[in-house]
Amino acid sequence: MENNREKFALRNFIGIMKSCRRQLVEDVFCNDYDLYNFLCEDKKHVRILYRQLYELKWLELHWKKCELLIDEKNLPLATRREILKIFLRRYSDFVAGWDYKPTDAVLFKANIESLNTLIITEKQWTEQLNQLKTSFLLETKALDKLIEEAK
């Protein structure tokens, strides 16, 4: 029985990995906002934030699909727990391959929110800086005009 659960979990986890990789390719072709910004952002520090954001969302998607699969199956509670443990073991190995600790996976959601906040803050700062530059240019032109008129 244990072997059947292991096979079920492994077969489905491989299917989930294929599905998520398909999603990655689709995101590339459909210009996913975060992925596109990672690839095209001019500022290196912002590009790194977008890479981390997309990476965490993508890794989290694997686990969400595992949970969804188990929720969709009408399995006894003990079987669900056993399969979840197997999924968790496989997922932990997978996440470790991306240089994350298994405990990091618990914090993916919080990290995603933090990265979103950092990106939004950087955008706001850039907008404010651009507004200041524009105001400065307008004031400079107005002063230049006054100086010309005073001559």
The one-letter amino acid code at 116 reads N
pLDDT digits (tens, 9 = 90+) for 21-69: 999 999 988 888 888 888 888 888 888 888 888 988 999 899 889 888 8
- Does residue 145 register a pLDDT over 60? yes
Under DSSP, the state recorded for 16 is H
Calpha distance 38→31 (Å, rounded) = 11
Between 143 and 53, name the one with better pLDDT. 53
Of the candidates 57, 68, 64, 58, which has an alpha carbon nearest to the alpha carbon of residue 20?
58
